[in-house]
Structure 1
Amino acid sequence: MPCYYLKTRIALGVLSACISYSTMAAPLSVEQRLALLEKKLIENEKELQVTRSELQQYKLNSAAEAVKTPVSKNDYVLVQQQASPTVGNPSEVKNSAMTLDELGKYIKDDIGFNYSGYFRSGWATTPRGGPKSWAIGSLGRLGNEHSGWFDLTLSQRVYNNNGKTAKAVVTLDGNVGQRNNDGWFNDGGDDLLKFSDMYLTTTGFIPNLPDTNLWVGRHALQQYELQMLDWKAHKENSASGVGVENLPVGSGKLDVALNRQDLENCARNANGSANCSQTDDVNTNSIDFNYHDIPLWDNASLTFRGRYNQANKTNDNKRNERDNDFFDVKDAWLATTILRQNFERGAFNEFAVQVANNSIAAGFMNISDANPDFGRGKRYYGDQDGGTAFRLISQGEAYLLPNVIMANTLVYSQGNNLYDYNTLAGTDFHSIRAVVRPSYIWSEYNQTGIELAYFEQVNKADNNSYHESGYKTTLFHTFKVGTSLLNSRPEIRFYSTYLKVLDSEIDHWTFNDGKKDQLSFGVQAEVWW
């Protein structure tokens, strides 16, 4: 209802009251005239209220029509505002529209809260009992992991003013066992729980560096993961520390962190093996850096990563080491170079070269995982004597045909004079891991494919050679969102996997009933948000 109509009705009401008053003024007393005028004003007030209600309904109907007006293929106008005419041109009217997605982002940014996470879970069986995972870090994850992992991250902005922000972040990690029904975290089963992140991060507080983050708490710099093998090729400590991220240096960005990592040094047996029922606490610290996003040619970038771990020993620690009661905790370092090339449709390939020494290098020869850890979980063990190792890595995915995509991971590793828990000190090794996963794309939501994997490792110690090798074949069909094998989720996988142990002289592995092979069937869901 236009505003002029409302004003006209009000004016007519007042005029009517005045005419009636003038007409009856002569024969009526003052009291009668006032009563009549009051009656007319009450009637006009009621009519005005009705008019206001009609006007409000008109505005609501107009807003409803605006919501129904499509803005794009998937978004709809939620709020449409009409601004006042500009000073320069009174006839000019500005219209602005906000989509549902934009409103959601606005609300999230306004309250400063974000919730993200990841989990995988599923069911599997074999003709001979429950399934077992073997050499996931060498043969790959698909059809070969039977645990349920999750990450839950909560972040809340606690300050935002004058270009300065502060945000609290907490990440909860856990493993939910797939074997037992209704398990609890404290019942001694497969269920595990930890806080991998609990820190405060700020932006804009460092003078002249408005986009650099300063954080304090329990946190780790960004990890470099081999997704198909489920281990971190370059792994920083998730421990109490302090760091800066996105520090502009030259053409790239630099992240630096100082972390604390205390370890339980295991007692040393006479033959050089570990007795971790007796431990000696040792304080260690590490410095990590990540120089990333260095542009090269078109769609290519370079990254340099490094880490140095150093023990901070007490006099008691040093005496225990001199007496050979406990292992000598040696400093260790890790260096990594990564070249990434992006292609069309989100395809990519990464080439990495890594070099490490002492206990970090010893992690290169782990069969189930090859994380470059300074310790083994919370423990340290092994006679390290300056041994070194290197590895070459290639991973990525490519569209071989418009409807055929293939993911791949290839790792070659070699090391000398390292400590292995099975073959002990002075171990030399070399290994190769190869996994390929071609898949036919039926649609954006359906794929069928096969994963083929093979690995072989040889450890040499005391003039003996120990061989470990095997292969895996997994047939699968997935219901998913997006065509990428590595970068699109959620995904539901139906699979059948055959695992075969060819040699097992290092870890002496067998499946159920002492068998060297396993056929399994299962379904698994994986999602991140």
Structure 2
Amino acid sequence: MKSYQVKLLTVLISAILLPPAASAAKLSVEQRLELLEQALASNQKELAETKAAFVAYKEQVRQQHTTVAARPQPAADPQLQPAANRQVLVGNLANASSPVPGTEPPAAQPVTLKQISQYVKEDIGFSYSGYLRSGWATGNHGSPQSYAIGSLGRFGNEHSGWFDLLLTQRVYNQDGKSAHAVVKLDGNVGQQYSAGWFGDNQGNENILQFSDIYLTTRGFLPFAPEADFWVGKHVLPIYEIQMLDWKSIRTDAGAGVGIENMDLGAAQMDISLTREDLDVYNRDLSTKTQMNTNSLDLRFHDIPLWQGGTLALMGKYAMANKSDDQKQNEHNNSYYTLKDAWMASATVRQQLSHNGFNEFTLQGANNSFASSFSNYSAASPSMGNNGYYYGDHTNGMAIRALSQGEVWLSDRIIMANALVYSRGEDIYSYDSGAHSDFESLRTVIRPAWVWDNYNQTGMELGWFSQTNKTQSGTRLKESAYKTTLYHALKVDTSILNSRPEIRFYTTWIHQLDNALSDYRFTDNKDDQFTVGVQAEVWW
């Protein structure tokens, strides 16, 4: 069979190599055989040269492998190491395939797969990152319900399937200047039904939004070439109280312009101007008008204080840009009056041993920002309530003190914590109305026994109490406590900063007072027992 293929190949090559004149002329059998013999001899010569070059190349590769094998090897089995840390031999294949007589082959260089992966990402300029959480749970009275996550804590108390998807593409990188296009999608995928279609129908828990769509650049600002200058739908970095799932500092924004990480020597500065329009309601809540508002954020961060301690300062001012009709509506008292608002914040972050940390924050605000402080659950600062503005907001103020972090209590015990104290006077509360006073305390601790890098067993204990005093003097109280026992399969030991993580848990929530929410669990119960498993990961 091989002989037949060689003969056929020889005939075809001969047909190609023969000049047209020779092909057209009538040749004798002897002449044709002579031509075929000449073509065959030429092919055999080329095949011999190629075989010799290939044998020389194999010998060079063998010598390289012999040299590497003779080097001292670590005691650990490389096959047991993570794939990203294993080393591969990368040589100059162009030179190896065409060796220069009398020269040594180039030495192979050890490169990790992680380095190769990073090189490919940097070369194409594209990255894809994200976050998700999802899980199964059931309750002792039917479907499990979430209650006051922002006060009692997250473990065993969140039953949604949230996700973030971040796409970044480098579009320019030359002469010290770069530009990246960024698109971020986030939303929720329902955990209750098999269908997960996105849409606007009432009661659909499947939601999706473009939370970011902007261009960010570096090197284009002559006065701050190291800073990130961005334009589009984006906000300055948020500060999240992770165990309570809300943000102490954030901006609800449409589009804007900003500069981040401007080097001031002793500090870094961020500044942004963003749009965040609100739907302002009339007095009977029957109609609304879109009112343009803009927010100016100014931050100074990474200010050194002492060993392991840094300070961050933030100021924010939100202002309305009203049309003549909107001013008239407020003047005749047919619509609620949207008032400008400010918020100020100071945060001290202290690094602790074993990569632990703690953050202490003091905040003050007025008008609608103060109103958001009074929310007994989610308390992220905002000009409106889920994009809507209503109520007679007064010039009262609110303050709060926050602490969050994690600390190693021993070689095997780690504990995360979140503590928030808030109070306000003469503010508008979405729960108790205008001219309300409030005071609240919420605390969550999560101690865990660390078995190894992949296993933890712990509990999350949460308790909160809030009392609002209405304009008439009536006191309304909301309070509850939660106990969650869990075992986590995870990567690394940090409670707050290491993922992925899979948690098997059982949770009991007991509601003590509900004068603000008027909430009850299924079957009008004041408590709930649930069991479940949840996965959380970012990448």
SS at match of 1:145: coil
Counterpart residue number, 1:135:
148
For the Cα contact (< 8 Å) 2:89–2:108, is it kept in 1? no
Counterpart residue number, 1:196:
211
Partner residue of 2:378 out of 334, 353, 369: 369
**More moved, 227-236 vs 183-192:** 183-192
Matches within 5 A, 1:232-381: 232-269=247-284, 275=285, 277-381=286-390
SS at match of 1:377: coil
Measure how far apart 1:368 and its partner are: 2.2
Q: In the superposition, relative to structure 1, how do residues 249 and 237 fare at CA in structure 2: closer, same or farther (>3 Å)?
A: farther
SS at match of 1:50: helix
Give the Cα–Cα distance (whole angstroms) in 1 for the partners of residues 40 and 429 of structure 2.
Answer: 102
Measure how far apart 1:309 and its partner are: 0.4
Measure how far apart 1:393 and its partner are: 0.5
Give the Cα–Cα distance (whole angstroms) in 1 for the partners of residues 113 and 66 of structure 2.
Answer: 15
Counterpart of 1:436 in structure 2: which amino acid?
A: I
Q: Does 1:520 align with 2:533?
A: no
Counterpart residue number, 2:510:
500
Measure how far apart 1:308 and its partner are: 0.8
Give the Cα–Cα distance (whole angstroms) in 1 for the partners of residues 217 and 412 of structure 2.
Answer: 45
Counterpart residue number, 1:482:
492
Counterpart of 2:260 in structure 1: which amino acid?
A: E
For the Cα contact (< 8 Å) 2:64–2:107, is it kept in 1? no
Which stretches in structure 1 are left out of the alignment for 5+ residues? 1-34, 85-89, 270-274
Task: Give % identity.
Answer: 47
Q: In the superposition, relative to structure 1, how do residues 418 and 208 fare at CA in structure 2: closer, same or farther (>3 Å)?
A: closer
Counterpart of 1:194 in structure 2: which amino acid?
A: Q
Counterpart residue number, 1:228:
243
Counterpart of 2:311 in structure 1: which amino acid?
A: L
Q: In the superposition, relative to structure 1, how do residues 223 and 57 fare at CA in structure 2: closer, same or farther (>3 Å)?
A: same
SS at match of 2:91: strand
Measure how far apart 1:209 and its partner are: 2.5
Q: In the superposition, relative to structure 1, how do residues 353 and 53 fare at CA in structure 2: closer, same or farther (>3 Å)?
A: same
Give the Cα–Cα distance (whole angstroms) in 2 for the partners of residues 525 and 436 of structure 1.
Answer: 20
Measure how far apart 1:40 and its partner are: 8.1
Counterpart residue number, 2:8:
none
Give the Cα–Cα distance (whole angstroms) in 1 for the partners of residues 205 and 38 of structure 2.
Answer: 86
Counterpart residue number, 2:98:
none
Measure how far apart 1:353 and its partner are: 0.2
Counterpart residue number, 1:207:
222
TM-score between both structures, scaled by the size of structure 2:
0.85
SS at match of 1:239: coil
Counterpart of 1:158 in structure 2: which amino acid?
A: V
Q: What is the Cα-based RMSD across aligned positions, in Å?
A: 2.5
SS at match of 1:482: coil
Counterpart residue number, 1:420:
429
Counterpart of 2:355 in structure 1: which amino acid?
A: G
Counterpart residue number, 1:4:
none
**More moved, 73-82 vs 249-258:** 73-82
For the Cα contact (< 8 Å) 1:66–1:80, is it kept in 2? no
Matches within 5 A, 1:17-56: 44-56=45-57
Give the Cα–Cα distance (whole angstroms) in 2 for the partners of residues 406 and 36 of structure 1.
Answer: 86
Measure how far apart 1:346 and its partner are: 1.3
Give the Cα–Cα distance (whole angstroms) in 2 for the partners of residues 262 and 65 of structure 1.
Answer: 69
Counterpart residue number, 2:20:
none
SS at match of 1:51: helix
**More moved, 342-351 vs 42-51:** 42-51
Measure how far apart 1:148 and its partner are: 0.7
SS at match of 1:396: strand
Counterpart residue number, 2:190:
177
SS at match of 1:56: helix
Counterpart residue number, 2:163:
150
Give the Cα–Cα distance (whole angstroms) in 2 for the partners of residues 428 and 98 of structure 1.
Answer: 63
Give the Cα–Cα distance (whole angstroms) in 2 for the partners of residues 39 and 105 of structure 1.
Answer: 50
Measure how far apart 1:365 and its partner are: 1.0
For the Cα contact (< 8 Å) 1:66–1:79, is it kept in 2? no
Q: In the superposition, relative to structure 1, how do residues 393 and 152 fare at CA in structure 2: closer, same or farther (>3 Å)?
A: same
SS at match of 1:281: strand
Measure how far apart 1:210 and its partner are: 2.5
Counterpart residue number, 1:98:
111
Q: In the superposition, relative to structure 1, how do residues 508 and 60 fare at CA in structure 2: closer, same or farther (>3 Å)?
A: same
Give the Cα–Cα distance (whole angstroms) in 2 for the partners of residues 66 and 183 of structure 1.
Answer: 58
Q: In the superposition, relative to structure 1, how do residues 41 and 250 fare at CA in structure 2: closer, same or farther (>3 Å)?
A: closer
Counterpart residue number, 2:27:
none
Counterpart residue number, 1:118:
131
For the Cα contact (< 8 Å) 2:64–2:108, is it kept in 1? no
Give the Cα–Cα distance (whole angstroms) in 2 for the partners of residues 59 and 199 of structure 1.
Answer: 52
Q: Does 1:108 align with 2:128?
A: no
Measure how far apart 1:67 and its partner are: 9.2
Give the Cα–Cα distance (whole angstroms) in 1 for the partners of residues 173 and 44 of structure 2.
Answer: 53
Give the Cα–Cα distance (whole angstroms) in 2 for the partners of residues 67 and 452 of structure 1.
Answer: 56
Give the Cα–Cα distance (whole angstroms) in 1 for the partners of residues 37 and 283 of structure 2.
Answer: 109
Measure how far apart 1:204 and its partner are: 0.6
For the Cα contact (< 8 Å) 2:253–2:275, is it kept in 1? no
Q: In the superposition, relative to structure 1, how do residues 82 and 371 fare at CA in structure 2: closer, same or farther (>3 Å)?
A: same
* Higher strand content, 1 or 2: 1
Give the Cα–Cα distance (whole angstroms) in 2 for the partners of residues 245 and 80 of structure 1.
Answer: 39
Q: In the superposition, relative to structure 1, how do residues 62 and 328 fare at CA in structure 2: closer, same or farther (>3 Å)?
A: farther
Measure how far apart 1:381 and its partner are: 1.2
Give the Cα–Cα distance (whole angstroms) in 2 for the partners of residues 328 and 192 of structure 1.
Answer: 31
Matches within 5 A, 1:404-415: 404-415=413-424
Give the Cα–Cα distance (whole angstroms) in 1 for the partners of residues 243 and 88 of structure 2.
Answer: 42
For the Cα contact (< 8 Å) 1:175–1:192, is it kept in 2? yes
For the Cα contact (< 8 Å) 1:296–1:302, is it kept in 2? yes
Partner residue of 2:445 out of 403, 413, 436: 436
Could you report, residue by residue, the CA deviation over 1:35-65 in whole angstroms, capped at 9, with x for unpaired residues? 9999987765442222112223345556777
Give the Cα–Cα distance (whole angstroms) in 2 for the partners of residues 447 and 374 of structure 1.
Answer: 40
Counterpart residue number, 1:26:
none
For the Cα contact (< 8 Å) 1:67–1:78, is it kept in 2? no
Measure how far apart 1:177 and its partner are: 1.1
Measure how far apart 1:121 and its partner are: 0.4
Measure how far apart 1:239 and its partner are: 2.1
SS at match of 1:296: strand
Give the Cα–Cα distance (whole angstroms) in 1 for the partners of residues 198 and 40 of structure 2.
Answer: 77
Measure how far apart 1:134 and its partner are: 0.7
SS at match of 2:494: coil
Q: In the superposition, relative to structure 1, how do residues 162 and 469 fare at CA in structure 2: closer, same or farther (>3 Å)?
A: same
Q: In the superposition, relative to structure 1, how do residues 98 and 387 fare at CA in structure 2: closer, same or farther (>3 Å)?
A: same
| Count of residue correspondences | 485
Q: In the superposition, relative to structure 1, how do residues 65 and 372 fare at CA in structure 2: closer, same or farther (>3 Å)?
A: farther
